[in-house]
Amino acid sequence: MWGVPSVNDLGPVIVTGISDGAVYAICALGLVLTYKTSGVFNFAHGAVAAASAYVFYQFRDRDHMPWGLAAVLALLVVGVIGGLLLERMSYALAEAPTVMRVVATVGLLVGLDSLLTAIYGASTIAFKNFLPQSPTRVGGVNIAASDFITLALAIVATVGLYLFFKRSRLGVAMQAVVDDPDLLSMQGISPVVVRRLAWTIGSCFASVSGMLLAPEIGINVSYLILLIIVAYGAAAIGLFSNLPLTFAGGIIIGVGINVLGQELSGSHSIAILSLAPNLPFLVLFAVMLFVPSRLLIEQGVRRVRRLRPMPTFKPQTVGVSMACFALLAIIVPLVAPAYDINDYTAGLAFAVLFMSLALLTWTSGQISLCQMAFAAVGASTFGHALAAGFPWLLALLVAGLIAMPMGALVAIPAIRLSGIYLAIATFGFGILVERLFFTSFLMFGNQYAIRTPRPHLLGLNLTGDKGYYYVTLSLTALCCVLVLLVRRSRLGRLLRGLADSPTALAAHGANTTITRVFVFCISAFLAGIGGALLAGVTQSGSEATYDFSVSLAMIAVLAFCWRLPILSPFIAAFLYQVLQVYPFFRDATVLKYDGVAFGILAIGVAVWPGLGSIRSSGRAQERDQRGSPVLARSAPVHREKVLT
Amino acid sequence: MNVAMPDLTVDRVTVRFGGLVAVDDVSLHAPAGTITGLIGPNGAGKTTTFNACTGLVSASSGSVRLGEESLNHRGPATRASRGLGRTFQRMELFDSMTVKENVALGPESLFSSRHPWGQLFSPRRETRNIEERARAAMELCEIAELSRRIAGDLSTGQRRLVELARAVASPFRFLLLDEPSSGLDVHETERFGEILVAFVAETGMGILLVEHDMSLVSSVCSTIYVLDFGRLIFYGSTAETLASDVVQAAYLGSEGTGGDHAHVAGSAHA
Amino acid sequence: MLELRNITAGYDTGTVLHDVTLVVPDNAVVALLGPNGAGKTTLLRVASGLLRSRSGQMILDGVDVTGQQPFQLARRGVCHVPEGRGVFAALSVADNLRLQASARVDRAAVDEAASVFPRLGERRSQRAGTLSGGEQQMLALSHAYVGDPSYVLLDEVSMGLAPKIIDEIFDYLRQLAGQGISQLLVEQYVSRALELADYVYILNRGRITFAGEPQEISSETVLRSYLGALAS
C-alpha cells in the first residue's frame, strides 16, 4: 500500500523537514543553553516563543510596523528583557529543590498561556508570511526562499554558538558556571554576568523560533507551546547538554516527522497516522527509558536547600477541623444554588486528583506532570466498563485499577532517573498518551467523549445533581481514608523517608525501587478514580477535560496550597474549580486571568525562599563540603595555647 | 544476650576512580565485640573503604565478608539487610520527621525487606518490636527527651546521636560509623564514646570507626588501622599505633616518600 | 600587603572565626596551621570573598576591600586554590587554563602552564575530570602562575596526593615564592609548610593561638595541637 517512494516524492518533504527541523533546533539550543548554565529547565520555553509570536503580531499586524522593526522589537521585549527577567528567576531558584524549580517554570508556562489567551483570544490568528516565498529549483525540487533563510539562520546559530563555546573565553565561562560558580568567580569572572548572557541568548533563540513558526501554523498559544515542546525531543537527543547533537536532533526530528507523515499517510489507523507528529515524544520517552542514567546528569543540584517541614497538628485539632469540614461539605447542596452544585461536585473530584498528586509530590518527593493522563485512563475505562454492563461501583474500581499499570510504567523513569528528568519524562508521557491514545477506541474514541451515566445505588436514584454530589462526597471521603491509611502504614513512613533521604532508606535495607513503584501505582489509582468521578459530573467524559495543560495547572496550584496531604488538595481543588461560582470570581475578566494568578502565585512560592539569599553562596557552599566540619570541630584535648 | 555476632573482613580491596587508585589493596579485620579504628590524614581513602564495604562504590578487586558470608556484588540495600549497617559522614537523616520517627524507620526499613509485601503492612508483632527497639536505642543514646523534635531542627551533635540511634535500633550485626564526631564539641565527643562502648559491651556487636578525632579513637578502639594514600601503612593496638613513628610521619608528612611507606607497612604486617 | 582585621565570620549553624587578625606581607609565605575544624578553610573563604564576614575589615594593598565579591578580589590579584580539586571537571585542560588567565593573555596560558607542569601541556585537550588527582591539583595550582596574582591562598593542596607529587608541588610553591608572590598556606604536612614559611599562625577553634616565625615553634608542639592524644 505504501509503495516505494521515489526521490522526487520525498525530496520536497525532506526539504520541508530540514527547514522545520532548523526551527526546532534553534528552539532546542536555547533550552539546552539555559538549562546547562543555570540548572533550571525552562518548561515555559515554548510559552516564551509563543509570547514572542504574539508580540511580533501585535507590532506588525495591529500597529502596522514594518516586519523588520516588529521582529527586532519582539526580540528585544521577549528575548532580551524576558531573558534578563528569567535570569533573575533562575538566580532565586539556584538553591531551590528540584520540585520547586519545576513549579516555578511550569507556573510561568501556565501564567503566560493564560495571559496570551486572555489578551488575544483562544482562536488561531492567521499570520501571513514575512519571509519571501519565491521558489528556487534545486536538484529537481522546488524550495521556498523562506525555507532557505530559516535553515541558514539555524546553521548560523548553531555554528555561532559552537564557536562561541569553543573559542571565546565567555563561552568557556558559560560552560563552567554550572559546574562551580564560586570557582568561576574566584577566577575573576562574574557568574551573574555569564548567566545573564546565557538567558538572553536562550530567550532570543526561543523568540526567533516562535516568530519563524507563526506563519506556518498561525498564532495560537496552545499550538505554539505544543510545537515548541517538539524541541524537547531534540534536546533529549543531545542529552540536554550537547549542542551539536541537539542541532542534529532538531533536524532529525523535523525530517522524521515529515517523512514519516508522508510514508504513513496511506494508513487508515488513527494511531499510525498520529505516529509521525508524535515522534518527538516517542524519542523523548525512549531517551528517558533507555539511555544510561549516568549520561543524564542533573545540572545544578549540588547545593540544594531542603523544603521546610510542614507544621504538625494535634490529633484533636485535626479531628475537630475534619468534622467541621465534613459537616460543611454535607450541607453545601442544601444551601448552594442548584446550578452551582455540579461545580462543587467537580471540586470534590478534583480534590481526589490533587490528593493523588500531593501523595506523589509532597509525601514521597516524586514529580509527576502527567496526572491527568492517569485520570483520562480512569474516566475512559469507567465509560467502557459501564457500557459493558458493569455495576457502577465496580466500574469505578476497575477505572482505578486499570490506571495502576500506567502508574507502574511511569515509575520506570522514576527508578532510573531523579528530579528534573523525571519531570520531563512524565511531561512527555502525558502528552504522548493524550495524542496517541485519547482518540483511540480504547479511550474516548473518535467522538472525543464517552458516556459515563450516573448511578442508582442501594435502590436510590442518584442521577440528579444533588444525588451525584453525595455519591462523589462519600467516595472522596473514602479516598481521604485511603490516603490517611497509606500515610499511617509502613509504606507511608517509607515514602516520607524516600522524600527526605533515599540513601538512608537504602542503607537500612529498604528496597526503594519497590517503594517508588507502589507510590506511583497508588497515585495512579487515585487519579483514575478522580478522573472517573469528574466524568460523572457531565455524564460524559470528554477528552478536553483531561488535557495535559490541566496537569500543569494542577501542580502550579497545589504548590501554593501548602504541602499537607489532605487539606492542601481540598484548598487547591476549591481554588481551581469551585471559586468561580462566587459572584466576584464569576466575572469574565477575572475568569480569563485565573491562570495568570495561579502562575504568579506558583512562581512566588518557588522563588520566595531564594529572594533573601542574595550573597548566600557561602552558606550554601558550606553544606556542600563533603559534610566536613561546619562548626569548630572538637579540638583535641590540649586546649591551652601552644605558645604566646 | 545475643547469638554470636559476625566479624567484618575486608580482603585485599582495591577501588579505582578513573585513573586514581583511591584504595589500594587494603585488608582489615574488625572482630565482633570490639571497636576497630580506621584513621589517616584527609583524603587517605577511609570513606572510600567504607563505601566499598557497604556497596556504594564497587571495588575493582578484593572481597568483603560479614562472618562467613561474602557481600561482593550486592547493592547497598541487600548488604544492609544482611546486617551491615552504617552512618554517614554528612548525616543522612529524615529531616522532616521527628527523632522518634527517624529512629523507628531504621528497623522498619530493614523489616520491610523481609517479605514481598513487607513495605505495605507491618505485622503487629513487628510494630511492637520496632517500638521497643527505637525506645531502647533512644535511651542508650540519651536522646529520649528529644523524641518529638523534628530532626532537621536539631544541632549537629544531637543529629549525630539520632543517626547513631537509628543504626543501633536496626537489627544490624555489624556497624560502620563514618566520622561520627565531626561537628561535636569535646563533651559531646566524650559522651559519644561512652555510648559506643556501652553499646558494644551490651550487644557484642563489632564496630568499625572512621575518625579524625584521635581522642575518641584512642579512648574507645582496641585496634587501629592507619591508611595513607589509599594504602594500609600500619595496624596495631591503640598504644602501639599512637607510639608509632610511621603514623606521626603520616600526619606530619616529613618523612614522606612512597618507598619508606611501603617498607614500614611491610614490617607492620610481618 | 593583605590584612584581615578582627574578622568574625561563620555560617548559619554557628560562628567559626572569632576576632581573627592576620597579615600576609608582600613577598612572604605565611603558613596557617591548626587542627581540623579550627576554621582555616573559613578564613581563606573570607579572604577570597566567598564568605562575607560578620564584622572586621579586609585591606588589600591599602585599599579597604571588605565585602567585595570573589571576582572583584580576583581581579585585584587574590588567587584562591580551594580545598578539593579547584578545576572545572567538564572542561578541557586548555579551557580551564584560559579561565584562570586574564582575558588579554588567555590564549598563551596553556604554554605558560606547560612550562611549569609539562604534563598539563601533554594533556591540554583532555577533560580535566579524567586527569589523575595529582594532575588535577597541578591544574588548579596553575592558577597561581598563569593568573599572575599577587596573593595566593592555598587550601590543603597536598591532600590525598602521592609523596612524589607533593614534592613537585612544594618545589612549585618555592618557585612562586622566589618570584615574590605572597602565599597564605593551609597545609596538613606541618614540617613541609614550616620549611617554606616566613611566618606562622596557628588557628585553634576559630582563634589565633600563635603568631610568629617558624624558628619559634617546634614541630612537636604543632603535632600536639593536631593530634591531641597522639603525643601524650
DSSP for A438-490, please give it: TTSTTTTTTTTEEE-PPPEETTEE--SHHHHHHHHHHHHHHHHHHHHHHHHSH
Copy the grid coordinates of residue A250: 532538531
Q: Is B179 on the interface with A (CB under 8 A)?
A: yes
Q: Radius of gyration (Cα) for chain C, nearest Å?
A: 17
Give the whole-angstrom CA distance, residue C97 versus residue B15: 30
Start-to-end C-alpha separation, chain C: 39
Disruptive mutation site among B252, B254, B260, B264 for chain C (greatest number of C CBs within 10 Å) = B252
Give the whole-angstrom CA distance, residue B106 versus residue B83: 12
> Residue A208's pLDDT is what?
94
Average pLDDT over residues A558-566: 92
Nearest to C156 among B18, B20, B42 (CB): B42
DSSP for C90-147, please give it: TSBHHHHHHHHS-GGGGGGHHHHHHHH-HHHHHTTTSBGGGS-HHHHHHHHHHHHHHT
In this structure, the dihedral spanned by the alpha carbons of residues B233, B234, B238 and B244, taken in order and rounded to 10 degrees, is -90
- % residues pLDDT > 70 (chain B): 89
Q: Which residues of C touch B253 (CB under 8 A)?
A: 158, 163, 166, 188-192
Average pLDDT over residues C52-63: 93
pLDDT digits (tens, 9 = 90+) for A331-342: 999 999 999 999
**A with C: how many residue pairs have Cβ under 8 Å apart?**
146
Q: Is the pLDDT of residue A484 over 90?
A: yes
In this structure, the dihedral spanned by the alpha carbons of residues A68, A69, A74 and A79, taken in order and rounded to 10 degrees, is 80
pLDDT digits (tens, 9 = 90+) for C142-173: 999 998 899 999 998 887 677 788 888 999 99
Copy the grid coordinates of residue B262: 611501603
Nearest to C160 among B44, B156, B254 (CB): B44
Q: Is C41 on the interface with B (CB under 8 A)?
A: no
Q: Is the pLDDT of residue A643 over 50?
A: no
DSSP E strands: which ranges in A113-216?
135-138, 141-144
Nearest to A634 among B108, B119, B181 (CB): B181
DSSP for chain B, please give it: --SPPPPEEEEEEEEEETTEEEEEEEEEEE-TTSEEEEE-STTSSHHHHHHHHHTSS--SEEEEEETTEE-TT--HHHHHHTTEEE--SS----TTSBHHHHHHHHHHHHHHTSSTTTTT---HHHHHHHHHHHHHHHHHTT-GGGTTSBGGGS-HHHHHHHHHHHHHHS--SEEEEESTTTT--HHHHHHHHHHHHHHHHHH--EEEEE-S-HHHHHHH-SEEEEEETTEEEEEEEHHHHHH-HHHHHHHH-SS--HHHHHHHHHHHH-
Q: Is C84 on the interface with B (CB under 8 A)?
A: no
Nearest to C162 among B45, B229, B254 (CB): B229
CA–CA distances in Å: residue C215 to residues B238, C21, C194, C196: 32, 21, 9, 12
Is B43 in contact with C228 (Cβ distance < 8 A)? no
| Stated length of chain C | 232
Q: Is A614 on the interface with C (CB under 8 A)?
A: no
- Give the SS3 label for residue C151: strand
DSSP for C217-232, please give it: --HHHHHHHHHGGGG-
Q: Is the pLDDT of residue C186 over 90?
A: yes
Question: Strand order in B69-70's β-sheet?
Answer: B20-30, B8-17, B61-66, B69-70
Q: Which residues of B touch A505 (CB under 8 A)?
A: 105, 109
Q: Which residues of A touch B85 (CB under 8 A)?
A: 507-508
Element (H, E) at A12: helix A7-38
> Residue A12's pLDDT is what?
80
Contacts of A53 (CB under 8 A, 6+ apart): A74, A127, A210, A211, A213, A214, A219, A224
Nearest-CA residue of chain B relative to C136?
B20
Is C75 in contact with A188 (Cβ distance < 8 A)? yes
Give the whole-angstrom CA distance, residue B97 versus residue B95: 6
Nearest-CA residue of chain C relative to A634?
C37
Nearest-CA residue of chain C relative to A632?
C37
Contact at 8 Å (CB) between C52 and C63? no
> How does residue A175 score in pLDDT terms, banded at 50, 70 and 90?
confident
Q: Which residues of C touch B218 (CB under 8 A)?
A: 229-230
Q: Is the pLDDT of residue C13 over 80?
A: no
Q: Is B182 on the interface with A (CB under 8 A)?
A: yes
- Give the SS3 label for residue A146: helix
Q: Is the pLDDT of residue A613 over 60?
A: no
Is C91 in contact with A187 (Cβ distance < 8 A)? no
CA–CA distances in Å: residue C106 to residues A166, A197, C126: 13, 20, 18
> Residue C77's pLDDT is what?
93
Give the whole-angstrom CA distance, residue A78 versus residue A86: 10
Contacts of B259 (CB under 8 A, 6+ apart): none
Is A508 in contact with B119 (Cβ distance < 8 A)? no
Give the whole-angstrom CA distance, residue A171 versus residue A174: 5
> How does residue A615 score in pLDDT terms, banded at 50, 70 and 90?
very low
Rounded to a whole number, what is the distance in Å from the CA of C105 to chain B's nearest CA? Answer: 31
Question: Which residue, A379, A377, A385, is CA-closest to A429?
Answer: A377
**Would you kindly state where each structural domain of chain A is located, as residue ranges?**
23-129+144-302, 341-580
Give the whole-angstrom CA distance, residue A415 versus residue A427: 16
- % residues pLDDT > 70 (chain C): 93
Report field, pTM of the whole predicted structure over 0.90: no
> How does residue A525 score in pLDDT terms, banded at 50, 70 and 90?
very high
Q: Is the pLDDT of residue A634 over 60?
A: no
pLDDT digits (tens, 9 = 90+) for B14-32: 998 766 788 999 999 999 9
Q: Which residues of B touch C (CB under 8 A)?
A: 18-20, 41-45, 156, 182, 212-215, 218-219, 229, 242, 247-248, 251-254, 256-258, 261
Specify the pairing of strand C29-33 against strand C199-204: parallel
Contact at 8 Å (CB) between A33 and A201? yes
Q: Is C148 on the interface with A (CB under 8 A)?
A: no
Q: Which residues of C touch B248 (CB under 8 A)?
A: 223, 227, 230
Is A634 in contact with B189 (Cβ distance < 8 A)? yes
DSSP for B148-183, please give it: TSBGGGS-HHHHHHHHHHHHHHS--SEEEEESTTTT
Q: Which residues of B touch C160 (CB under 8 A)?
A: 42-45, 229
- % residues pLDDT > 90 (chain A): 57
Q: What is the phi-psi region of residue A562: left when phi exceeds 0, alpha when psi lies from -120 to 50, beta otherwise?
A: left
Question: Which residue, C160, A443, C105, C156, is CA-closest to B23?
Answer: C160
Element (H, E) at A126: none
Q: Is A225 on the interface with B (CB under 8 A)?
A: no
Give the whole-angstrom CA distance, residue A627 versus residue A614: 23
How many angstroms from the chain centroid is the CA of residue C41?
Answer: 9
Q: Is B186 on the interface with A (CB under 8 A)?
A: yes
Average pLDDT over residues B211-240: 88
Nearest-CA residue of chain A relative to B126?
A490
Is B43 in contact with C160 (Cβ distance < 8 A)? yes
Q: Is the pLDDT of residue A244 over 50?
A: yes
Nearest-CA residue of chain B relative to C84?
B43
Q: Which residues of C touch A622 (CB under 8 A)?
A: 11, 13
Q: What is the DSSP letter of A633?
A: P
The interface pTM score, or ipTM, of the predicted complex is 0.92
Residue with cell 615553634: C217
**B with C: how many residue pairs have Cβ under 8 Å apart?**
76
**Neighbour count for residue C223 (Cβ, 10 Å):** 18
Average pLDDT over residues B220-234: 90
Is C131 in contact with B215 (Cβ distance < 8 A)? no
- Give the SS3 label for residue A328: helix
Angle between helices A45-57 and A221-237 (to 10 degrees): 140
In this structure, the dihedral spanned by the alpha carbons of residues A34, A39, A41 and A47, taken in order and rounded to 10 degrees, is -40
**Neighbour count for residue B65 (Cβ, 10 Å):** 16
> Residue A640's pLDDT is what?
29
Disruptive mutation site among B20, B21, B241 for chain C (greatest number of C CBs within 10 Å) = B20
Rounded to a whole number, what is the distance in Å from the CA of A71 to chain B's nearest CA? Answer: 50
Q: Which residues of C touch B20 (CB under 8 A)?
A: 132-133
Copy the grid coordinates of residue A500: 527526605
Give the whole-angstrom CA distance, residue B63 versus residue B41: 24
DSSP for A361-380, please give it: IIIS----S-HHHHHHHHHH
Q: Which residues of B touch A512 (CB under 8 A)?
A: 77
Q: Is A630 on the interface with C (CB under 8 A)?
A: yes
Q: Which amino acid is at B255?
A: E
Give the whole-angstrom CA distance, residue B124 versus residue B21: 49
Per the model's pLDDT, the better-predicted residue between A269 and A457 turns out to be A457
Give the whole-angstrom CA distance, residue A595 versus residue A556: 9
Angle between helices A371-387 and A512-538 (to 10 degrees): 60
> Residue C190's pLDDT is what?
82
Please return the burial class of B140, using the count of CB atoms within 10 Å of its CB with bins 0-12, 13-18 and 19+. Answer: buried
Contact at 8 Å (CB) between A618 and C11? yes
Q: C154: which strand partners?
A: C81, C185
Q: C94: which strand partners?
A: none
Element (H, E) at C55: strand C55-60
pLDDT digits (tens, 9 = 90+) for A370-426: 999 999 999 999 999 999 999 999 999 999 999 999 999 999 888 888 789 999 999
Nearest-CA residue of chain A relative to B43?
A626
Specify the pairing of strand B84-86 against strand B174-178: parallel
Q: Which residues of A touch C229 (CB under 8 A)?
A: 636-637
Helix, strand, coil share (%) of chain A residues, nearest 5:
70, 5, 25
Is B80 in contact with A507 (Cβ distance < 8 A)? yes
> Residue B262's pLDDT is what?
33
Q: Is B58 on the interface with A (CB under 8 A)?
A: no
Give the whole-angstrom CA distance, residue A591 versus residue A458: 39
Among B5-14, B40-49, C66-75, the minimum mean pLDDT is found in B40-49
Give the whole-angstrom CA distance, residue A526 versus residue A401: 9
Copy the grid coordinates of residue A505: 532508606
Q: Which residues of B touch A515 (CB under 8 A)?
A: 119
Q: What is the DSSP letter of A418?
A: -
